[in-house]
Amino acid sequence: MEPTLIGAYGQWAVGLRQDELPSLSFRREEFTDPSQWRAMARKRVLERMAVPEEPAPKDVEVVEALRYEGLDVELLRWQLSYGPPTEAVLLKPAGERGPLPGVLGLHCHSGKKYWGKRKIARWGSPHPLMRQLQEHQYGGRAWANELAGRGYVVLVPDAFLFGSRRVRLADCTDHVRGDLLDPTDDDHAGIEAYDRWAAQHENIMAKCLFCAGTTWPAVFFTEDRIALDILARRGDVDETRLGCGGLSGGGLRTCFLAGLDERIRCAVCSGFMTTWRDFLLRKVHTHTWMTYVPLLPNELDFPEILGLRAPEPTLVLNTTEDPLFTLECVQGCEKILTGVWDKAGGSDRLRFSYYQGHHKFDVPMQEEAFGFFDRWLKK
């Protein structure tokens, strides 16, 4: 018997789903019309996620406007009906009035919740901890800046529970926060202690979201869709040429946003592609609570969430030595999605690429992603 994360129960758990194909998989023979299937499947996914209702705020505050390395930069803030204000950075070529294609830049998880948008964007001297992260995962680049410089309006918001949206220790009960205090940017040891605490706090947050009748992917989707609303309604953005992309946690968010919001014309998912089976048997311990939607595996395999956008342009970037995923299962996802795109009549609009190395979105991967955006979003 193959060892599994849950011992002898692993194969039993995998066998709970009797059908070879999930019930809403477009690969099933009964689904022939991609438009009808997409509408039905998206409706079910949104129901399973239990997406909370939250309107886009009417007012978006420009906290500061500046010019940095050939880019016009706006530091933005908006208030939802819950939690601290969302902060975001918007980048575009200096002096450009548009309308330009717009891309929602989705930052990674990386075990660092004190930070959000600053992982992939830069508008001044980078924090030493962010410089270190960018060197390790992004080839030393702030990739949102690089993309903006190629003729895009790029909006990078802090995600739910990251950066400006992070849980403040002062707002938690004594039992939860212990002896920790909220750190400041110059307190490196305090920031690292906070990130360790936040990793453990995910267990509590996930349980509380389930108790509230929603899921973590639902809150991500709600807030990312609002950020897309804010990007799309700008006068310097062409709302018919919108894209999104990101690495790791940003790749996860790309799967849900690009799969469920038809405004996303072009999507780039980097470093987040595998199957529910791979999670169950081998890799669930390497991931956060942010991935899972109860009961959805009965209806769609994980890659088929992104597949809800077929046949729209989609690039999936992977690395061959990524410890978060089993390469065989990633390659299996390529077969799954190739079948979906072929059946939907868009085989020329799906691309899977593989790079040597660890979990990353480095310069060669970025260049492929930027070229893909150029192909599908530029006139």
Confidence of residue 230 (pLDDT cuts 50, 70, 90): very high
Asked if the model's pLDDT at residue 291 lies above 90, the reply is yes
Name the percent of the chain lying above pLDDT 70: 99
| pLDDT tens per residue across span 43-72 | 999 999 999 999 999 899 999 999 999 999
CATH number of 61-377: 3.40.50.1820
For residue 233, CA distances in Å to 59, 227, 296 come to 12, 10, 32
Residues 112 and 18: their CA atoms lie apart, in Å, by 39
Q: What is the mean pLDDT of the chain?
A: 96
Give the pLDDT score at 208: 97
Q: Which tokens is 183 given?
A: 């750190």
Residue 19 pLDDT greater than 90, yes or no: no
188-211 and 128-137 helices cross at what angle (nearest 10)? 70
CA 154 to chain CA centroid, nearest Å:
15
Distance CA(222)–CA(209), nearest Å, equals: 14
Read off the pLDDT of residues 297-331 as tens digits, 9 standing for 90 and up.
999 999 999 999 999 999 999 999 999 999 999 99
pLDDT at residue 190 tops 90: yes
pLDDT tens digit string along 156-167?
Answer: 999 999 999 999
Q: In the chain, what are the domain boundaries?
A: 61-377
Say if residue 98's pLDDT is above 90. no
* Residue of 215, 184, 180 lying closest to 200 (CA atoms): 180
Whether pLDDT at 134 is above 90 = yes
pLDDT of residue 17 exceeding 90, the answer is no
- Torsion sign over Cα 9, 10, 12, 16: positive
What pLDDT is attached to residue 105?
Answer: 98
Mean pLDDT of 135-140: 97
pLDDT the model gives residue 194: 98
Helix extents (H) in the chain: 9-14, 34-49, 128-137, 143-148, 174-177, 188-211, 216-232, 249-260, 276-278, 303-306, 327-344, 363-377
DSSP string, 141-166: --HHHHHHTTT-EEEEEPPTTSGGGS
- Residue 20 confidence class, pLDDT cut points 50, 70, 90: confident
Percent of all residues in the chain with a pLDDT value above 90, rounded to a whole number: 96
Q: What is the pLDDT of residue 372?
A: 98
In the structure encoding, which two tokens stand for residue 45, read together?
Answer: 């996914």
